[in-house]
């Protein structure tokens, strides 16, 4: 049975991917920063009757000691990994000028530096076995900038640039890098992400408009996260996985637009989609 470690499994993509992979016969090490939030995962695992294939462990990808402890635990338990799924992610909504340094750095620490730090500790084991899969849950936000979402977009652009580069280095060792890029899906990132909207903000008209528009968009068009879990599982099961897979109609369109349309045209399309012409400054 292959073994996979997944980060950020208390909710969302991480939770449903844990269940999907266990149902397919993977041994899953489901990790999360706060084990006090494991109840929803435990219920889903029990409902799928895969308790014997899932272990839940603590891991904070922004804490070097937590990473070292988790990797050492794998070694002492004799549990070599076949794959890692980097799913842990955070966001913050707001105009860049209004965001604190702490908000911006938090997004980059989790979404970018956390991926690098954990991967670096796992690579010696993958190299020794001359195989392994490093799958990163990216986003359609890696294809084009989005208003009031600049730190998140930047983190996804950064991790994709890193992935494209390190793929050259790891290929000779039989290690695959895989990017899964979802569009809008029903996960708690929409509710859990802080929204910075100061009363005195010069960008307040835009932010108020986006708050209403994006919430309506998510409520109407966000899709079942199980689609993303299946895409992740299919990539890990594939004999020769694709490097990049866009999941969902909006992500597929943005994947196409990134290579075919000028940035100015993409911004105009975004502006029309979110009705930015209706903002009254």
Residue 137 has pLDDT above 80, yes or no: yes
Give the pLDDT confidence of 201-245 residue by residue, as tens digits: 999 999 999 989 888 888 788 899 999 999 999 999 999 999 999
Give the pLDDT confidence of 94-118 residue by residue, as tens digits: 999 999 999 999 999 999 999 999 9
pLDDT, residue 76, reads 80
185 annotated active-site: no
Report whether CATH 3.40.50.150 matches the domain 3-199+224-259: no
- The phi-psi region of residue 248 (left if phi > 0; otherwise alpha if psi is between -120 and 50; otherwise beta) is left
**Strands of 27-32's sheet in order across:** 54-58, 27-32, 3-6, 83-86, 132-137, 175-182, 244-247
Q: How confident is the model at residue 70 (pLDDT cuts 50, 70, 90)?
A: very high
Q: Which of 112, 152, 185, 203 is catalytic?
A: 152
Residue 151 has pLDDT above 90, yes or no: yes
The CA distances from residue 212 to 121, 184, 218, in Å, are 42, 16, 10
The C-alpha atoms of residue 140 and residue 4 are separated, in whole angstroms, by 24
86: tokens are: 């980097």
The C-alpha atoms of residue 248 and residue 223 are separated, in whole angstroms, by 8
């Amino acid at each position: 049975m292959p073994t996979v470690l997944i980060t950020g499994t208390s909710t969302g993509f991480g939770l449903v991917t844990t269940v999907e992979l266990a149902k397919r016969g993977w041994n899953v090490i489901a990790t999360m920063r706060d084990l006090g939030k494991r109840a929803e995962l435990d219920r889903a695992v029990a409902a799928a009757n895969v308790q014997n294939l899932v272990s839940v462990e603590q891991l904070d990808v922004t804490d070097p000691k937590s990473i070292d402890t988790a990797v050492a635990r794998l070694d002492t338990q004799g549990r070599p990994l076949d794959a890692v799924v980097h799913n842990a992610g955070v966001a913050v909504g707001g105009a860049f000028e209004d965001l604190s340094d702490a908000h911006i750095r938090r997004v980059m620490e989790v979404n970018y530096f956390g991926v690098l730090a954990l991967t670096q500790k796992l690579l010696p084991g993958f190299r020794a076995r001359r195989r392994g899969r490093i799958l990163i849950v990216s986003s359609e936000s890696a294809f084009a900038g989005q208003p009031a979402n600049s730190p998140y977009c930047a983190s996804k652009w950064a991790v994709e640039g890193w992935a494209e580069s390190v793929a050259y280095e790891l290929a000779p060792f039989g290690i695959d890098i895989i990017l899964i890029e979802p569009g809008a899906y029903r996960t708690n990132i929409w509710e859990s992400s802080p929204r910075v909207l100061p009363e005195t903000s010069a960008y307040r008209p835009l932010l108020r408009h986006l708050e209403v528009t994006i919430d309506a968009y998510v409520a109407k068009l966000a899709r079942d996260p199980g689609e993303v879990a299946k895409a992740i599982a299919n990539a890990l099961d594939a004999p020769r996985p694709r490097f990049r897979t866009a999941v969902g109609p909006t992500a597929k369109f943005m994947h196409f637009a990134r290579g075919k349309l000028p940035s100015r045209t993409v911004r105009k399309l975004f502006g029309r989609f979110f009705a930015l012409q209706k903002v009254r400054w």
